[in-house]
Amino acid sequence: MLQSDGMMEYDPSIAEEFGYAAADPTNFMGVPLFEADSLINLAIRFLFNMLMSWIIVHCIYFRKSKRADYYITFLLFSATMFLLICLMENLKLQIGFTLGLFAIFGMIRYRTETVPIREMTYLFVIIGISVINGLSMAVSWAELVAANLFVIILAVILEAWGSRRQLTEKIILYEKIENIVPEKREELINDLRQRTGIEAQSVEIGHIDFLRDVAYIKVKYYINKNEENTIGTITKFK
């Protein structure tokens, strides 16, 4: 059909008649430019996932550890993992990718430092929560909220139980070599209590150096609630 200026007007029906697909102004290279329902659903679930992760990280983990570096790491992990899972279409690939990713982190442990077991546990929890929220696009909100609350409640209970007095250990380089014999075990424990303030429950004799008259002793004792002993087994810095 000719227009007044002599230019031919494009007719989608004619293109389809000759076997050509009609151009869709809402698509770009076969991908929709904007889908309001999908975008709103993604945004709501993303905010929900971040809220659940923030409760676990801020209200449970950070309350005891006070580690701001892991605080940021966990939340970034949560956001990235959730978006990866949501935007990947193959379910088997999603699950395999998730398990493989955690296996990699479990083996390398960031390579820069030894990540404590508590932080590794919370990393797995954050990944698990993000995977659950990302894969549950067809699950009802009631089930999704219940699954997240189960994890949060379990973490609260276990943290409360683990905050009780717990037995820990410390390695001490001891110079009174005469006290390491079994007959003077009580004298050894009393000396350690007086000099370190640690209420030693038991001691274990390790490496003995008679040239320097010293011995490594592993002391087991109770720490109070909210106390930590992260370097108790370190004898010297590298």
- The overall longest dimension of the chain from CA atoms, in Å, is 115
DSSP code of 229?
A: -
Selected residue with higher pLDDT from 9 and 156: 156
Tokens of 116: 């404590």
Kindly report, residue by residue over 10-27, the tens digit of the pLDDT: 555 655 565 555 555 566
Q: Among 18-27, 61-70, 156-165, which stretch is predicted with the lowest mean pLDDT?
A: 18-27
3-state percent breakdown (helix, strand, coil) of the chain, nearest 5: 55, 15, 30
Enter the pTM of the model.
0.61
Confidence band (pLDDT; 50, 70, 90) for 136? confident
- For the stretch 143-148, contacts whose Cβ atoms lie closer than 8 Å and that sit 24 or more positions apart, written own/partner, are 144/48, 148/52
- The winner for highest mean pLDDT among 14-18, 29-33, 128-132 is 128-132
120/190 Cα distance (integer angstroms): 37
Comparing CA positions, the residue from 226, 167, 177 lying closest to residue 198 is 167
85/93 Cα distance (integer angstroms): 9
- Residue 238: what pLDDT? 47
